[in-house]
Amino acid sequence: MKPTNLFILALALAPLALSAQERFATRNGHIAFHSSTPIENIDADNRKVTCVWDATTGAMEFAALIKAFEFEKALMQEHFNENYMESNTYPKATFKGKLSGVTADELHAAGTYVVTVAGDLTIHGVTKAVSLPGKVVVDAAGVVKATSEFIVKPEDYDIKIPGMVRKQIAETIKVTVDLSLDRM
């Protein structure tokens, strides 16, 4: 191929290269929740959360298997899965939406960005539109981390709490999301 034709081909393909998607993902994200009452505190961790984020468009999706939440007490975990979350019927919680507040270009340098994640959160088979605060941090090594902390009310997602244990489970649950994302 002549050098002139090669140059023209390179110019023609340049916009495609510049519009390449910046995608990030993890299979071992962390979601924790905390329920605090005067009677008892309940904490659980799930370190098997999957997430894909296209920083070019802002599109973000994640999924968390309900049975992957681990509790300090085995009986709490059993009640959580069988009585409250019905994890055989509703095996995962998902989010699908968009992250705004940081551009793909900004992710090439260290920095901290206050972001908003807006979309559909599905828990226990119920989908609600949410807008949640978060933070994206790019460290000096280029590692991208995304975090968020928000409140969930069990009754908003048709999670029934029997009257006899109602005082042991908070009316609002604090949820913390912590993702270390790898470039795809």
Selected residue with higher pLDDT from 88 and 6? 88
- pLDDT (0 to 100) of residue 112: 98
Confirm whether 82 is domain-assigned.
yes
Average pLDDT, the chain: 91
Confirm whether 14 is domain-assigned.
no
4 φ/ψ sector (left φ>0, alpha ψ -120 to 50, else beta):
alpha
Confirm whether 3 is domain-assigned.
no
Q: Which residues pair with 42 in a beta bridge?
A: 35
Tell me how far apart the alpha carbons of residues 143 and 140 are, in angstroms, rounded to a whole number: 7
Query: What CATH number is given to the structural domain containing 40?
Result: 2.40.128.110
Confirm whether 2 is domain-assigned.
no
Nearest by Cα to 45 from 182, 177, 180: 177
Total count of domains within the chain: 1
The rounded percent of the chain whose pLDDT value lies above 90 is 82
Tell me how far apart the alpha carbons of residues 5 and 41 are, in angstroms, rounded to a whole number: 69
110's tokens: 């260290």
User: Domain residues for 170?
Assistant: 22-183
- Mean pLDDT, residues 104-116 taken together: 96
Q: Where are the alpha helices (DSSP H) in 48-141?
A: 74-79
Tell me how far apart the alpha carbons of residues 175 and 137 are, in angstroms, rounded to a whole number: 19
Q: Where are the alpha helices (DSSP H) in 65-129?
A: 74-79
177 has a pLDDT exceeding 60: yes
44 has a pLDDT exceeding 80: yes
Selected residue with higher pLDDT from 64 and 141? 64
CB 27 within 8 A of CB 64: no
Instruction: Using alpha carbons only, give the angle 36, 136, 99 rounded to the nearest 5 degrees.
Output: 90
- pLDDT (0 to 100) of residue 1: 57
CB 132 within 8 A of CB 97: no
- pLDDT (0 to 100) of residue 2: 60
- pLDDT (0 to 100) of residue 8: 52
19 has a pLDDT exceeding 60: no
- pLDDT (0 to 100) of residue 157: 98
| Residue 10: pLDDT band with limits 50, 70, 90 | very low
CB 166 within 8 A of CB 35: no
16 has a pLDDT exceeding 70: no
25 has a pLDDT exceeding 50: yes
